[in-house]
Amino acid sequence: MRFLEKTFSFDDGVTVNRLGYGTMQLPGKGVWGPSLEPQNAVKVITTVLDHGVDFIDTADAYGPLFANLYLKKALQQRPDTKVMIATKVGFTRQGPNKWIPNGRPEYLRQQVELNLFSLGLDHIDLLQLHRIDPTVPLEEQLGVLRDMQKEGKIKHIGLSQVKVEQIKEAQKIVPIVSVQNRYNLIDRTDEDVLNYAEQNHLAFIPWFPLATGKLANDKRLQQIAAKYKVGPAQIALAWLLKRSKVILPIPGTKSVAHALENLKARDIELSDQEFDDLSELKAE
Ligand SMILES: NC(=O)c1ccc[n+]([C@@H]2O[C@H](COP(=O)([O-])OP(=O)(O)OC[C@H]3O[C@@H](n4cnc5c(N)ncnc54)[C@H](OP(=O)(O)O)[C@@H]3O)[C@@H](O)[C@H]2O)c1
């Protein structure tokens, strides 16, 4: 039986609970515009904070800015709660579901500043480059983040949706502490990136941990879910928690009830047999 580690340490001073929360579902449809229920959006965040979540993923591009503004309000309502905020820069938005990368250093600098304003923070705990812009030298994209790290505005730097070779290139420019790639029980395309993260103690932050909700309705998870008296979503999260001690899942939801359900995954320790059986599943 593999021992399930509950926390992950980014450095000597920063250790977080591995099951976090992602804000992308909070803005309007297509991650565009405000939530139809802004007060509920804030409540989802205060709820997870009240239940021990201390790692929250967001991005200036979510809304844009609306997710950050809800998060800022929630943090203001919980001034004594210690939480690590991971945000991102590098995407521009043109409308619902439209995303175009821009890695020009002047744009990245502007977006780090906008993240600080919209989150109400004086520094960013973890700043992730949302996408590497293929039209801009990597040295320029990470160089400006390295400068802002020296200025005290960024504590740690991470990457998103990258290949192993790109992580190695980036590590020649600046220390990298995390990678955020698409990964879940039925989409393990980036297994090599996860293995590299594990070998190098980088946090691996899987986006779409529930396959955008598909896994919450996957009948193949029902039997094990019934045994633990939870839903399939929590089994999919428990599988991620067991898969590697560097995985920090950030399930997204705009529902307080779903957020509370998902937190139950922290208490599920799948047997090795259950883990192996689940690992056989493929996308349907
Ligand atoms: N780096 C990147 O490029 C990137 C890309 C995408 C996402 N992300 C990050 O990753 C986070 C997670 O991704 P995601 O939110 O897009 O996808 P996800 O976590 O895989 O799935 C979210 C979907 O699952 C549903 N859901 C969540 N919990 C549920 C439950 N207990 N029962 C039933 N349905 C449930 C949500 O609906 P309800 O709202 O109705 O609960 C929502 O539709 C995002 O919030 C964001 O922070 C990063």
As annotated, the active-site residues are 62
Q: Answer yes or no: is the C-beta of 181 below 6 A from any ligand 1 atom.
A: no
Q: Answer yes or no: is the C-beta of 233 below 6 A from any ligand 1 atom.
A: yes
CA-CA distance, 259 to 198, in Å (whole number)? 27
The pLDDT of residue 282 is 87
Q: Are strands 7-11 and 14-17 parallel, antiparallel or unpaired?
A: antiparallel
For ligand 1, pick from 53, 222, 253 the residue to mutate: most ligand atoms within 8 Å of CB. 253
For ligand 1, pick from 21, 23, 24 the residue to mutate: most ligand atoms within 8 Å of CB. 24
Q: Confirm whether pTM is higher than 0.95.
A: yes
C-alpha 21 – ligand 1 centre gap (Å): 9
Q: What is the per-residue pLDDT across 167-185, written as a single tens digit (0 to 9) for each? A: 999 999 999 999 999 999 9
Superfamily of domain 7-210+246-251: NADP-dependent oxidoreductase domain (3.20.20.100)
Closest of 117, 64, 72, 114 to residue 91, by C-alpha: 64
> Whole-number mean pLDDT of the chain?
97
| Burial call 53-80: b when 16+ CB within 10 Å, e when fewer | bbbbbbbbbbbbbbbbbbbbbbbeeeee
Ligand 1 atom at shortest distance from the alpha carbon of 23 = 45
Q: Answer yes or no: is the C-beta of 160 below 6 A from any ligand 1 atom.
A: yes
Percent of the chain with pLDDT over 70: 99
The pLDDT of residue 189 is 96
Eight-class DSSP state of 247: B
The pLDDT of residue 283 is 83
Eight-class DSSP state of 220: G
CB-neighbour burial class of residue 200 (10 A; exposed 0-12, middle 13-18, buried 19+): middle
Q: What is the per-residue pLDDT across 102-160, written as a single tens digit (0 to 9) for each? A: 999 999 999 999 999 999 999 999 999 999 999 999 999 999 999 999 999 999 999 99
Average pLDDT, integer, range 89-93: 98
Average pLDDT, integer, range 62-79: 98
Query: Rounded to a whole number, what is the distance in angstroms from the first to the last CA of the chain?
Result: 29
Q: Are strands 91-95 and 98-101 parallel, antiparallel or unpaired?
A: antiparallel
Average pLDDT, integer, range 63-72: 98
Number of H helices, E strands in the chain: 10, 11
Cα 62 to chain centroid distance, Å, stands at 13
The pLDDT of residue 112 is 98
Partnered with residue 7 across adjacent β-strands are 17
Closest of 126, 132, 149, 136 to residue 16, by C-alpha: 126
Average pLDDT, integer, range 40-68: 98
Q: What is the per-residue pLDDT across 175-219, written as a single tens digit (0 to 9) for each? A: 999 999 999 999 999 999 999 999 999 999 999 999 999 999 999
